[in-house]
Amino acid sequence: MSDNINLFQTGAGLNTESDSKSKSKRMKSVDYALFLLGRQDYTTMTIKQSLKKKGYSVSEVDEALSFVVENGFVDDYRYAQNYINAKKSTYGKSRMKQFLYKKGISKDLFEKAYEEFEDEFGENVEEEAERAAYEFAKKKFAAAPAESHSDPKLWNKVLAALARRGFSYDVSKRALEAARESLK
C-alpha cells in the first residue's frame, strides 16, 4: 500500500494536463481522500459525498475515487464485512442491512457479506444474535421495577426496542422470556 501512496505523491499514474492548477487541484482531491481514509474506513458513496462537500468538481471527485478504489483503499465489500463483524453482538441483521444501505452498500453486496459471515461462524450467528438480544432485554428489565416485569406495556416497550435494533420477532421473544426468567 505504501507503494501506492508513493505513486500518488510523485504524481505517477495520474493524467497530466498542461494546466498545473488543475493537476494540483486534482492531486489535492486524492490527497484529501487519503487523509479521510487514514482516519477511518469509508464506502465509495461516503467518500464521494465528503469530496463533493469539500467543493471538488465532479471530475476531481471521479479521479480521486478511481485512485482510491483501484489501489484498494476503498472497498465496499470489505467495509460491509468489517461492519457486520463489529456489530454482530449489538444489532440484528435488518438493522445492519439498513445502516449499510444508507452508506451506499447495495442489498446484494450486504447479503453476500452476511452469507460469508454466516458460513464462517455457522450456528454461532443465531446464538450471537440471541445472546445480544438477551443482554439488551435483561438490561431493560433490570432498569424497570420488579413488579412491572410481567406488565404487557414493558414487554411491548422492550420488544419494540429490540425490533429497532434489528432483531427478529422470534429472537426478541426468546430473549424477553429468558431475561425475565433470569431476573426472578
The series of mean pLDDT values per 10 residues for the chain, 184 residues long, is 48 48 72 92 95 93 94 95 87 90 95 87 74 88 79 88 89 87 76
Distance between CA atoms of residues 57 and 122, nearest Å: 46
pLDDT at 25: 63
pLDDT at 108: 94
**Shared domain check, 98 and 55:** no
**Shared domain check, 156 and 117:** no
**Could you identify the residue written with the cell 482516519?**
39
pLDDT at 66: 94
Contact 17, 88 (CB under 8 A): no
pLDDT at 69: 95
**Shared domain check, 63 and 11:** yes
* DSSP3 helix / strand / coil % (the chain, rounded to 5): 75, 0, 25
pLDDT at 33: 93
Question: What is the number of structural domains in the chain?
Answer: 3
pLDDT at 7: 47
pLDDT at 171: 87
pTM of the model: 0.69
pLDDT at 21: 56
**Shared domain check, 108 and 130:** no
Residue numbers of the domain that contains 96 = 76-121
